[in-house]
Structure 1
Amino acid sequence: MKVSVISRVAQSLTSRRGARIWVGAIIVCIAILFGALSSLEAPARSDSSLVDGSDSAKVQQILDENTTSNNTTALLVATKADSSALTNQDKSALDSQSKALSEGAKVTGGRFLFSDDEQAAMLPLSWSTVSTEADKQTLQDIRDWIQQNPVQGLDLRVTGSTAFAVDITNAFAGADFTLLAVTVSIVAVLLILTYRSPVLWLLPLAVVGIADRSASLVANLLGNLWGLSFDSGVLSVLVFGAGTNYALLLISRYRDELHKTEDHRQALSKAWTSSLVAILTSNLTVVVALLTLGLAVMDDTRGLGIVCAAGLLIAAIFVLLLLPPALAMSGRKAFWPLIPRPGTEIKKENFFGRAARVVMLRPGLNLTALVVLLLVLASALAGTRIGLSQTEQFRTPTQSATAMEQLSAHFPAGEAQPITVLAHADQVDALNSQFAGVENVKRVGAATQVGTSDWQQISVIPEVDPNSAAAKELVTELRTLTADQEQVLIGGQTAAQLDSHQMHLRDLYVIAPLIMIICLVMLGWLTRSWRTALALGLVNLLSAAAADGLGSLVSSLVFDAKALDVQVPLLAFVFLVALGVDYTIFFTHRVQQDAQDLELRKAVVQAASRTGSVITSAGLVLAGVFAALATLPLTVLGQLGLIVGLGVLLDTFVVRTLLLPALFSVLGSAKRPIFGKSSSSAEATAYSSALKESEINA
C-alpha cells in the first residue's frame, strides 16, 4: 500500500466531516450485523472425545451400528459420610432407594453391588436414549431426585460419561458472563490507571466491547456453517486483550503527536499513519498463526483457531477504523485532566530508557545472562508430564469426578471402564492367549457377538486405574501385540483418551513449526533483515519455552495439578509466540523509525522511553484478561490463562525491557545494518522529520 493512500485514509478518518461519515457508516454496518446474526445460537460444545478415524472411534461406530439396545448408562455410587463400612441397615435402605429411584426418575436400576471392603456400593442405571440433550436432562433429573430423597448417613453420587458431560455443562453455566464481566473490569481498571483520565478509557473500551460482540456473532455464524466447536470465553479474552493492545499503541502515538501539533486532527492522522504498520504486522501475525490451527486433527483446537483468527481481525478493523473517528470527534478534552499540548515538556528518558541504556553498557554479558535465565526457566519443561485424567479436568469438586474416584478406590479398577476389543471369531482364541499374559491385565472376558455382524467383542479388564498413564500404556501394548493382525480394533474410554492425547501432540508437532515460520516471515518483512528476524524469532521462541516452564511449575502449586492438560502446550505456544511477538514488533518498529535519524543505541534508548509505558500497560492488560480464565472451573482454561499471563509479563518486563536492547546493541556492533530498506521508508522519514521539528533527542 502506497504512503499516499495511507495518508488519504488517515485524513479521511480524522477530518471533521470524514470522522462523522466513518462513524455513521460503521454504526449502520453494526446494526445490520447485529440484526442479521443476533438470533444465531452458539454451536453446542462437543461432548465426545473420540478422534475421527481412530481405532476407538471405529469401535464405537461398529457398536452403535450393531446394537439394538438404545440405552444410556450411568453409575450411582454410595458411600458412608464418615467413610466407614456399610451396615445391613444401610444396605436395606439402598435397596429400597433403588426401587424408588427407578419409579421416581423413570430409569432402570437393579440391585446395588457392594465392594469387597464393604465401604461402597454401586448401582448401574440405564434409560432409553432420545438425544444427547435428553440424556443430560435425565441425568440431572436423577440427581435432583436423589437430592430430594436422601438416605440418612449416606452420600450418593452419579458418575459416567453422561455425568461428566453434565458437569462440564454446569461448569460453563453463566461462566461466559462471569468471564466477560471480569475481563471488562480488568481492562477498565488498567485503562484508567494508564490514562489517568475519567473519560478517555471509555472510548477504547467501548470500541473493543463492540468488536467483541461482533466477533461473537461472526463466530456463531462460522460455527454453525462449518460445524466448529470452540470456547467463546477464550475468544472474548483474545479480542479484549489484543484489541486493547492495539488501542493503547494508537492512543500513545496520538498523545505523543499532541505534544508537537496544535491541530488534534492532524496529530491523530500522523499517529494513525505511524502506528499502522506495527498494528497490521502484529495482527496479521496472530491471525495467520491462529489459522494454522485449522490444520489440527482435534475438532476443539481447529474450531477455536478459526473463530479466534476471525475475532482478532475484527478487533483490528474496529480499532483502526472506528476508534480514530471517535477520538477525532472527542478532541484533546478526552485526555482531561492531563491534556497534552504543544510546548509541554515530554520526558526525554524515563525508567525504560535508562534500563535500556544500562543494559547496553555491557550488551554481550547482559544478553548472555538473560538468555541463561530463560533457558533455566525453560528447563522445567523436561520434568513436565502432559495429560490429565478424566477426574483431574475440574479445578473444583464435581459429582462425576468424586464418584469415579470412590469407584476406583473401592472396586476393581478396570471393572467400570474395560478395554473393548473387536475381532473376528477365528481370532478370538489367539487373542485371549496373548492378552492373558500381558502385565496389568486382570482378566479377559468371554467373547460375545456384536449384533448380527461378523465382529466379536472381548472385554479386557485392567488391574490399574483406567484413567492412569499405566492404563494408556496397556492399550498401547495391546495394539502393538495385534499390529500384524488385520481386523482387530481396540477401543473403549481409555483407548479414546490415548487417541486424543496422541492427536493433540501430533497437532503440536505439526503446527508449532508452522507458527514459527510465520513469525519469522512477518519479522523479516518488518525489518527487511533475515539476520535480525532470525535473532528476534529465536528470542520469541525461547521466551515462550521459558513461560511454559515457569507456568508448569506455578500450575502445580496453584492448581495442585500433576500434569498439564494435553490441550495446553499447543494453545499456550500459539498465544505466547503469536501474541508475545506483538511487543517485539511494537518495539522494533519504533527503533526502526528512530534509527532513520539517530545512531542505533540512541534510537533504542529513545524507543524504549517512548514505548515503555504503553507496552507495559498493554502487557498488564493482556496478562490480566488471560488471568480471568482462572475464574472458570476447568483445569485446562486455568492452566492456559496462567501460562499465557506469566509469559506476557515475561515478554513485557524481561524480553522487551532488557533483552531486546542488549540484542540490538550486539547486532549493531557487527558494523552491519540491522534493518533493511522497506516500502515504509517514506513514512519513517516523515516520522523522523516530526522528531526533528519537536527537537526530541535521545
Structure 2
Amino acid sequence: MPTKTEPAVSARDAQHTGPPRWLRWLLPALLIVAWLAAGSVGGPYFGRVDEVSSNDATSYLPASADATQVQALLPEFSGSDAVPAIVLFTAERKLDQGQLAEITAAAKQFAGLGAVDGEASPVITSDDGRAAQVFVPVRSDLNVGEAVAELREAVRAGAPAGVAVYVTGPAGFTADLAAAFTGIDGLLLAVALGAVLVILMVVYRSPLLPFIVLGTSVFALCVALLTVWWLAKAGVLLLSGQTQGILFILVIGAATDYSLLYVARYREALMSCRTRWDATWAALRGSFEPILASGGTVIAGLLCLLLSDLNSNKALGPVAAIGIVFAMAAALTLLPALLLWAGRAAFWPRRPRFDPAGGRRAEGAEVPRSGAWTRLTGLVARRPRMVWAVTSLVLLAACAGVLQLKADGVPSSDLVLGQSEARDGQAALGVHFPGGSGSPAYLAVPEDRFDEVASALLAADGVESVAVVAADSPGGTARVTADGVQGFGPPGTPAPAPTVVDSRVMLQATLADAADSAAAEQTVRGLRADLGSEVLVGGVTATAIDSNDASIHDRNVIIPVILMVILAILMLLLRSVLAPVLLILTVVLSFGAAMGVSALVFNHILGFPGADPAVPLYGFVFLVALGIDYNIFLMTRVREESLVHGTRTGILRGLSVTGGVITSAGLVLAATFAALGVLPILFLAQLAFIVAFGVLLDTFVVRSLLVPALAYDVGRRIWWPSRLARRGLEGGAR
C-alpha cells in the first residue's frame, strides 16, 4: 500500500508508469523471498567454517616447492602424517630423580589420549638438568586446536609439583593460531556490524533505513559464505581463517558501499518521480553502471591473485571475488525490492517529497552553493593547481616512509599477538636445548649420497645434531655421528638401518637456532646452496623460506598486472585514455602514502617485529581495487554531469552531489576493515590499519581534493580522445 505521504497516481498516470500493479508487487516479493530463503540456509554455516578450512602453512605452498615435496614424503618414511608437538618441562633447579620419574610416567600416558597418534618419544633431559622434553605425535585428522588442548590438559595434570610445562612445536603454534581465529564468527562480525550500524544511523538519521541497508549486507554475506563453503568442501577452493576473515569484512563493507550509492540515487529519484516504481527504475539506471564497474574492477583485481605461486593468495582471489559478486547482486536486487516496498517511509522522519522542479537543473546552470561539499567546490574552482600540487607534495612526503617498511617475513612465533603458550615454550626451549629442537630441517637425500650429505651436515655451522629416519629404531630415528649411524639404546645396541623410500633416505638436522629465526633461515639457505637441487630440504624453516620467496615473487608479478587490468576497465568505463591514467597515478600515490605512514606506525608506535611479504600485496589489492571505487563513483557522475553542463561545471556538480555518499561509503569500509584488528593476528592487524587508513586517505584527500582539482585544471582534455574532449558547451565545457 502507498504511504500517506506518497502522492496518489491518477488513472492516466498509471497507464504510463510501466507494468501492471500486481507485477510491481510480485517481482520484489519474489526477490525478497529468494534472498530470505538463501540467507536462512547460509546463516548456520558461520559456525561450520572450520570444517572446511586449514591453517597449515605447507598446504599454501606450490607443489613444486622443496618444502611441499618433503612434506608429502614424510608420511611414507614415518608411516604417519602426525603433527609433532614438544612437551617441555622446566624447573628453577636441576630436576631430581623423583620428578624425572613422574615426567616419564606422564609421557607414557600420552599414548592413551585420543589426540595422540602412537607413542611419545623417550624423555630427553637438557645438559643443565633443569629441563626435559618429550616429542608427541598429534593426530592430523582431528582439529589440531582441540587435540592440543586435550594434550595440554593431560600434561598439566601429570606434571610434578614445582615444574612449569609448555606444549609448543609445530602443533602448539598451529593450535595457538587456530585459537586466535576463534572470534572470527562472533567478535569480528559483531564489531564490524556494530560499527557500520552506528555510521548508518548518523548518516541517515532514520530508524528503518540503516537496518534495511545492513540487512542487505548480511544476506549477501550469508549467501556468499554458503557458496564458498560448498566449493571448499568439494576441494575447489582452499579456505583458511585469514581468508574467512577477509571475506566477512569485504562483503559487509562492499555491499554497504554499493547500497549507499543506490540509496542516494533512490532518494534523488523519489524527488523527481511520482511513483516508487518509476523511482526504482530511475535509481537502478543511475547506479547500475557505477556499481557494476566498481564491483567488476574489484573482482578483476582480486582474480589477478590467481597468478600467485602461493596457494593462500591464489585461493583468496576467487573467494573474495565470489563475495563481491553477491555484494553487487544484493545491492541491485534485494535492496531495490526492500526500498520499493518501503517507499518514502524508509527515510522517515526526513521523507523525500515529490518535486518536479527539484530534478536536474537546466543545461549550464550554476553549481548549488550550500553545504560543506559545495563549499569545497569553490576552493577547487578558485585554486585548482595549488590544491592538486600541494596535495601531491604531502602524499609524496608520506611515501618516504616506505623506505622503513620491513616486509621480508616475521618469525612464526610472532604471528599471534598477545599470549601464546607455544611462543613462551619456544623461548624456554631455546634456553635449555638447541633452538631448533622439535622442528628439525628434513632432508630427502638420494641413498647413494647419504654419507656425503651426513658429513656435510655434521660440519655445517648452525647444525647442532643429525639423525636419520629408521623404522626399526626406538622412536623411529637413529643418531648420525662422524662414526656412522648409532641407535638411541644402551651401548652395544646394533645400529639400525635407515629407512629407504624410492631410493631416498630422510635425514633430520636439528638447528642450533630457533626454527623461525633469521639465523636458521640462513643455515637452511646455505645447505640448499651447498647440497644442490638433488637434495630436498623441508621442515618449518624451509616452509617459511619458500613462503617468503613465493610472496615476493607474487608481489613483483601481480601488482603491475592489477594496474594494467584496472587501467583497461577505466578506459572502457570513462571512454577516455587520459582520465584513467591520471586516476591510476593518484591511486598509486595514495597507496604509497598509506604504506609509508603504516611503516612508521608499525615500527615506532606499535613496535611490530616486521611484516609478511604478502602484506604490501594484500594492501595494494584492496587499496587500489577498493580505492578506485570512489574515483569510479565520482568520475561516472562527473561524466554524466559534463554531458549536460560541460566538463568544469560537471566536475564541481559531481563532487558536490557525490560528496556525502562517497564519504559515508569510505567511513563504512574503513570501519569494517579496522574491525580485523580485533583478531590477535599480526598479519590481519597490519592489513586492518593499512586498508582503513588508506581508504580514509582516498576518501577525504584523493577523491575530495586531488582528483577534482587535477581534472578541473586539465579541463575537457581529461576526456581525451573521446568526443567530450572536443565538445564546447556554454557554462564550463573547457
Flag whether TM exceeds 0.5 (same fold). Answer: yes
Q: Which stretch has the larger CA shift, 431-440 or 644-653?
A: 431-440
Asked whether 1:454 is paired with 2:503, we answer yes
Query: Matched residue of 2:209: which SS?
Result: coil
Asked whether 1:21 is paired with 2:29, we answer no
The residue type equivalent to 2:660 in the other structure is S
The residue type equivalent to 1:146 in the other structure is V
Cα contact 2:306–2:317 (8 A) shared by 1: yes
Please give the alpha-carbon distance, in whole angstroms, between the structure 1 residues aligned to 2:692 and 2:18.
37
Asked whether 1:376 is paired with 2:397, we answer yes
Query: Matched residue of 2:234: which SS?
Result: helix
With over 3 angstroms needed to count, the CA separation of the structure-2 counterparts of 1:37 and 1:594, relative to structure 1, is closer
The residue type equivalent to 1:185 in the other structure is G
Asked whether 1:490 is paired with 2:537, we answer yes
Cα contact 2:577–2:719 (8 A) shared by 1: no
Asked whether 1:66 is paired with 2:77, we answer yes
Query: Matched residue of 1:322: which SS?
Result: helix
* C-alpha distance after superposition, 1:322-355 (max 9, x if no partner): 2112212212122111222256989644323333
With over 3 angstroms needed to count, the CA separation of the structure-2 counterparts of 1:617 and 1:87, relative to structure 1, is same
Trace 1:305-320 onto structure 2 (pairs within 5 A).
305-320=317-332
Query: Matched residue of 1:133: which SS?
Result: coil
Return the TM-score normalized by structure 2. 0.83
Unaligned runs of 5+ in 2: 1-15, 114-118, 360-367, 468-479, 486-497
Asked whether 1:125 is paired with 2:129, we answer no
1:617 aligned partner: 664
Q: Which stretch has the larger CA shift, 498-507 or 361-370?
A: 361-370
Give the drift of 1:45: 2.2
Cα contact 1:228–1:302 (8 A) shared by 2: no
1:164 aligned partner: 173
With over 3 angstroms needed to count, the CA separation of the structure-2 counterparts of 1:278 and 1:406, relative to structure 1, is same
1:467 aligned partner: 516
Q: Which stretch has the larger CA shift, 592-601 or 555-564?
A: 555-564
1:515 aligned partner: 562
Asked whether 1:636 is paired with 2:683, we answer yes
Please give the alpha-carbon distance, in whole angstroms, between the structure 1 residues aligned to 2:547 and 2:214.
39
1:503 aligned partner: 550
Cα contact 1:360–1:661 (8 A) shared by 2: no
* C-alpha distance after superposition, 1:416-454 (max 9, x if no partner): 333222322443444456556655445666376333542
Unaligned runs of 5+ in 1: 1-9, 679-687
Q: Which stretch has the larger CA shift, 545-554 or 69-78?
A: 69-78
1:682 aligned partner: none
Asked whether 1:363 is paired with 2:384, we answer yes
Give the drift of 1:662: 1.7
User: Among 622, 625, 628, which residue is 1:581 paired with?
Assistant: 628
* C-alpha distance after superposition, 1:148-198 (max 9, x if no partner): 455444321101212222222222224312211111111111111000111
2:722 aligned partner: 676
User: Among 140, 152, 166, which residue is 1:143 paired with?
Assistant: 152
Name the count of aligned residue pairs.
662
Give the drift of 1:370: 2.0
The residue type equivalent to 1:270 in the other structure is A
Give the drift of 1:667: 2.2
1:99 aligned partner: 105
With over 3 angstroms needed to count, the CA separation of the structure-2 counterparts of 1:259 and 1:674, relative to structure 1, is farther
Give the drift of 1:264: 4.3
Trace 1:76-225 onto structure 2 (pairs within 5 A).
76-80=87-91, 85-88=92-95, 92-103=98-109, 106=112, 108-109=119-120, 112-116=123-127, 121-127=131-137, 131-133=140-142, 137-148=146-157, 151-225=160-234
Please give the alpha-carbon distance, in whole angstroms, between the structure 2 residues aligned to 1:67 and 1:392.
30
Query: Matched residue of 2:557: which SS?
Result: helix
User: Among 285, 289, 296, which residue is 1:273 paired with?
Assistant: 285
Q: Which stretch has the larger CA shift, 175-184 or 189-198?
A: 175-184
Cα contact 1:77–1:158 (8 A) shared by 2: yes
With over 3 angstroms needed to count, the CA separation of the structure-2 counterparts of 1:366 and 1:138, relative to structure 1, is closer
With over 3 angstroms needed to count, the CA separation of the structure-2 counterparts of 1:632 and 1:673, relative to structure 1, is closer
Query: Matched residue of 2:713: which SS?
Result: helix
Give the drift of 1:114: 4.2
1:291 aligned partner: 303
Give the drift of 1:35: 7.4
Give the drift of 1:456: 3.2
Please give the alpha-carbon distance, in whole angstroms, between the structure 2 residues aligned to 1:313 and 1:134.
31
Give the drift of 1:490: 1.6
Q: Which stretch has the larger CA shift, 212-221 or 499-508?
A: 499-508
Please give the alpha-carbon distance, in whole angstroms, between the structure 2 residues aligned to 1:568 and 1:12.
51
What is the root-mean-square deviation in Å for CA atoms of aligned residues? 3.1
The residue type equivalent to 2:93 in the other structure is L
Cα contact 2:110–2:120 (8 A) shared by 1: no
Please give the alpha-carbon distance, in whole angstroms, between the structure 1 residues aligned to 2:308 and 2:260.
33
Please give the alpha-carbon distance, in whole angstroms, between the structure 1 residues aligned to 2:180 and 2:400.
34
1:329 aligned partner: 341
2:494 aligned partner: none
Query: Matched residue of 1:595: which SS?
Result: helix
With over 3 angstroms needed to count, the CA separation of the structure-2 counterparts of 1:428 and 1:651, relative to structure 1, is same
Cα contact 1:19–1:326 (8 A) shared by 2: no
1:3 aligned partner: none
With over 3 angstroms needed to count, the CA separation of the structure-2 counterparts of 1:262 and 1:94, relative to structure 1, is farther
Cα contact 2:84–2:438 (8 A) shared by 1: no
Return the TM-score normalized by structure 1. 0.87
With over 3 angstroms needed to count, the CA separation of the structure-2 counterparts of 1:176 and 1:461, relative to structure 1, is same
Please give the alpha-carbon distance, in whole angstroms, between the structure 2 residues aligned to 1:396 and 1:499.
27
Please give the alpha-carbon distance, in whole angstroms, between the structure 2 residues aligned to 1:58 and 1:406.
31
User: Among 417, 421, 434, which residue is 2:443 paired with?
Assistant: 421
With over 3 angstroms needed to count, the CA separation of the structure-2 counterparts of 1:594 and 1:94, relative to structure 1, is farther
Give the drift of 1:16: 5.0
Cα contact 2:145–2:179 (8 A) shared by 1: no
User: Among 505, 514, 525, which residue is 2:572 paired with?
Assistant: 525
* C-alpha distance after superposition, 1:616-648 (max 9, x if no partner): 110000000111111112211111111111111
Query: Matched residue of 2:112: which SS?
Result: coil
With over 3 angstroms needed to count, the CA separation of the structure-2 counterparts of 1:73 and 1:569, relative to structure 1, is same
Give the drift of 1:285: 0.7
Cα contact 1:354–1:605 (8 A) shared by 2: no
Give the drift of 1:659: 0.6
Cα contact 2:107–2:134 (8 A) shared by 1: no
Asked whether 1:253 is paired with 2:265, we answer yes
With over 3 angstroms needed to count, the CA separation of the structure-2 counterparts of 1:402 and 1:276, relative to structure 1, is same
Q: Which stretch has the larger CA shift, 197-206 or 440-449?
A: 440-449
Query: Matched residue of 2:142: which SS?
Result: helix
The residue type equivalent to 1:655 in the other structure is V
User: Among 476, 489, 494, which residue is 2:525 paired with?
Assistant: 476
With over 3 angstroms needed to count, the CA separation of the structure-2 counterparts of 1:410 and 1:380, relative to structure 1, is farther
Asked whether 1:393 is paired with 2:415, we answer yes
Please give the alpha-carbon distance, in whole angstroms, between the structure 2 residues aligned to 1:255 and 1:32.
28
With over 3 angstroms needed to count, the CA separation of the structure-2 counterparts of 1:480 and 1:109, relative to structure 1, is closer
Please give the alpha-carbon distance, in whole angstroms, between the structure 2 residues aligned to 1:290 and 1:617.
24
Cα contact 1:444–1:459 (8 A) shared by 2: yes
Cα contact 1:479–1:490 (8 A) shared by 2: yes
Give the drift of 1:544: 1.8
Please give the alpha-carbon distance, in whole angstroms, between the structure 1 residues aligned to 2:697 and 2:122.
58
* C-alpha distance after superposition, 1:559-585 (max 9, x if no partner): 531211233222221111111110000
